[in-house]
Amino acid sequence: MSKKTFVSLDQIKEISKTYPTPFHLYDEAGIRENAVKLNKAFAWNKGFKEYFAIKATPNPFILNILKDYNCGVDCSSLTELMMAEALDFEGSDIMFSSNTTPPEEFEFADRLNAIINLDDFTHLDFLEKTIGKIPETISCRFNPGGLFKISTSIMDNPGDAKYGMTKEQIFEAFKILKAKGAKKFGIHAFLASNTVSNEYYSTLAKILFDLAVELRDETGADIKFINLSGGIGIPYLPDVEPNDISVIGENVRKVYEEVLTANGMGDVAIFAELGRFMLGPYGCLVTQAVHEKHTYKEYIGCDASAVNLMRPAMYGAYHHITVAGKENETCDHKYDVTGSLCENNDKFAIDRMLPKIDMGDYLIIHDTGAHGFSMGYNYNGKLKSSELLLKADKSVQMIRRAETPTDYFATFDFTDIFKNI
């Protein structure tokens, strides 16, 4: 099976004249089309809002594209809040969902009037002491514990996750927050990652909608929004059917009417914080084959490494690989596709059947638009690559330059030693 690419060999050759490999490339047209589909799927809910998870693709140019479609941002750190502020996101356009949160991050979020989503029961007291108040609008993260499973064999274990409050804790939290002046409440939960199933969001929604009715009835809290968070995944494997966001939206609508509307809560807004679904398929890592090795296995060495894409090394995650220009050739060669790090897990593919790869061939590693560049690091002194935007008019814009040795050494306070760099 194969995956379609949004960039051709001829385009890559032209891009490489200005921007050497490796580089991450994003598809503006695809991003915009997907944002339209998401908003259309949830148009039935007047308050619907996507809070794009900055952690997935922390690039201002990407965030500004999504801003065109009324997307807010989900932040989890001080620097992500700073990026949001720099791009003129403010107030209810920012969801601050953090855990083990330092006080200065709560202070900054409060200064921006962001919606603060509390991860833990102990954070109620911590937040009040830090900012001197309880905000009028506040959200709490729920963890139902146990196992989470849906009929498509997708299972996760919320009980082992460090995130969120128990049911007893969230009820107590709402009572305390209300007594301390909170007037508008939200509920948030994240139970499974990268679900390629049209059932997940509506299953999660049913859990949270039922919880919302109970919380309203027992605490009297005015619940204004329910954040279904992320978890809608993408098909990394080429033979997996992708999620249909229109079906997902309709499934959530049915549960909304059955639970919330039926219980007099038909004005509750639905929020999402999708990262992978919004950006994953609309980014790729382009790298060049620079070495081949013939020992106990056949190896292709690339100029990219786990520094540029950590997921295969970290999780054993699958990312499809296309040899640019050889899309229609038979995949009759078995390779390990590797980077150059001093780690044996620095492999983009193991025993992958691909067309014969010649030195200088360009490899397109698919689905790196989310949690690709953002998870990069500098092991072995390797430098992060550039990020490029393939614009809707097919021109290319650099949206982040590649790191240089000067960047790598910049945090040392040894000016004289490194003065010649």
Return the pLDDT at 177.
Answer: 98
User: What sign results for the dihedral spanned by CA atoms 285, 294, 340, 16?
Assistant: negative
Cα 230 from Cα 245, distance rounded (Å): 13
The domain locations on the chain are 27-280, 283-409
What is the number of residues in the chain?
Answer: 421
Cα 104 from Cα 331, distance rounded (Å): 53
Give Cα 337 distance to the centre of its chain.
Answer: 25
Q: Name beta bridge partners: 288.
A: 362
Nearest alpha-carbon partner for 343 in 318, 304, 379, 394: 379
Return the pLDDT at 192.
Answer: 76
pLDDT in 10s for each residue of the chain, 421 residues: 689 999 999 999 999 999 999 999 999 999 999 999 999 999 999 999 999 999 999 999 999 999 999 999 999 999 999 999 999 999 999 999 999 999 999 999 999 999 999 999 999 999 999 999 999 999 999 988 755 666 555 545 555 667 789 999 999 999 999 999 999 999 999 887 788 889 989 999 999 999 999 999 999 999 999 999 998 999 999 999 999 999 999 999 999 999 999 999 999 999 999 999 999 999 999 999 999 999 999 999 999 999 999 999 998 999 999 999 999 999 999 999 999 999 999 999 999 999 999 999 999 999 999 999 999 999 999 999 999 999 999 999 999 999 999 999 888 876 666 666 5
CATH number of 27-280: 3.20.20.10
Return the pLDDT at 413.
Answer: 75
- Determine contact, residues 367/234, Cβ cutoff 8 Å: yes
From residue 140, how far is each of 97, 99, 163, 279 by CA, in Å? 9, 12, 11, 26
Q: What are the strands, taking DSSP E only, across 257-412? A: 269-272, 283-294, 298-302, 321-323, 333-338, 347-354, 362-365, 386-390, 396-400
- Give the residue ranges of DSSP H helices in 75-188: 78-86, 103-111, 123-131, 167-179
Nearest alpha-carbon partner for 275 in 47, 110, 73: 73
Nearest alpha-carbon partner for 409 in 397, 396, 401, 418: 418
Q: Which residues are catalytic?
A: 342
Return the pLDDT at 155.
Answer: 46
- Determine contact, residues 321/364, Cβ cutoff 8 Å: yes
CATH class name, domain 283-409: mainly beta
Those residues with Cβ within 8 angstroms of residue 363's Cβ, 6 or more apart along the chain or in another chain: 286, 287, 288, 289, 300, 302, 321, 322, 323, 324, 337, 348, 357
Give the pair of three-digit tokens for residue 340. Answer: 């150059």
